């Protein structure tokens, strides 16, 4: 499950959406606000269009970038993340761009190693196995520092978009991230993570609370710095 910028933290989101909707003179004027108006529940002239995994391997230009750089290098290099974000916008008349990143930047910020293996997907060489493994996580992580490359990529991309369309950000939901961190990668059953929920209840609550705290800080920072349209 993903949390997109428009649909996260309901109790606080009205205020944050108002911040996002305000004009920001430091960025080029927005020419297409269709998806923002739709998100506010306004009647719009047509349904706005954007696609999950909008930037990805279906694009030959993205595949060329992947020949030169590994996945997380692209995520962690603002110029590369920006370029890949813009590739589908150059080809198609989408109503929004989606910043090129990954939900697993959160576990990385907490101190876990994540590799993207071809044909396999994300792999955690040292997943969480026992509750004692939680001590390895950086519980006081400063997302402004650890994930600054995401914020830099967002700022650069907003300028490069030249106001053509808004920019969408996202993150993973707490249990989704917990699942990856315990399973060691993708899983159809999440059997290890589910076992934690009933066998290691205290540790599960601790981990989910930590992830929730970091996720909220991650998203609010993007909005509070006025770097996102949505």
Catalytic residues: 53, 57, 66, 102, 180
Give the chain's length: 230
SS (H, E, C) 156-181: HHHHHHCCCCCEECEEECHHHHHHHH
φ, ψ (nearest 5 deg) of residue 77: -115, 105
Which residues, 6 or more positions from 127, have their beta carbon under 8 angstroms from its beta carbon?
181, 182, 183, 184, 185
Identify the DSSP state of 185.
B
184 neighbors 177 (Cβ within 8 angstroms): no
Q: What angle do CA 223, 226, 230 make, to 5 degrees?
A: 55
Question: How many angstroms separate the CA atoms of 36 and 74, rounded?
Answer: 27
In angstroms, rounded to a whole number, what is the distance separating the alpha carbons of residues 194 and 190?
Answer: 6
CA distance 64 to 69: 9
């Amino acid at each position: 499950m993903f949390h997109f910028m428009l649909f996260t933290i309901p109790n606080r989101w009205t205020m944050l959406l108002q911040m996002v909707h305000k004009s920001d003179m430091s960025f080029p004027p927005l020419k297409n606000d269709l998806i923002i108006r739709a998100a506010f529940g306004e009647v719009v002239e047509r349904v706005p269009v954007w696609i999950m995994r909008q930037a990805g391997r279906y694009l030959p230009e993205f595949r060329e970038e992947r020949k030169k750089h590994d996945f997380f290098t692209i995520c962690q290099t603002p110029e590369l993340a920006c370029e890949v974000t813009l590739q589908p916008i150059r080809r198609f008349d989408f109503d929004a761009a989606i910043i090129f990143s990954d939900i697993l930047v959160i576990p990385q910020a907490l101190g876990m190693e994540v590799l993207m293996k071809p044909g396999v997907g994300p792999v955690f060489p040292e997943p969480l196995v026992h509750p004692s493994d939680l001590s390895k996580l950086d519980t006081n992580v400063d997302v402004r520092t650890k994930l600054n490359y995401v914020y830099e990529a967002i700022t650069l991309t907003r300028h490069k978009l030249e106001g053509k369309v808004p920019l969408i950000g996202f993150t993973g939901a707490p249990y989704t991230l917990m699942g990856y961190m315990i399973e060691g990668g993708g899983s159809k059953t999440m059997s290890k993570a589910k076992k934690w929920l009933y066998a290691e209840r205290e540790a599960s609550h601790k981990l989910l609370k930590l992830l929730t705290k970091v996720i909220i800080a991650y998203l609010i920072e993007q909005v509070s710095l006025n770097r996102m349209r949505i």
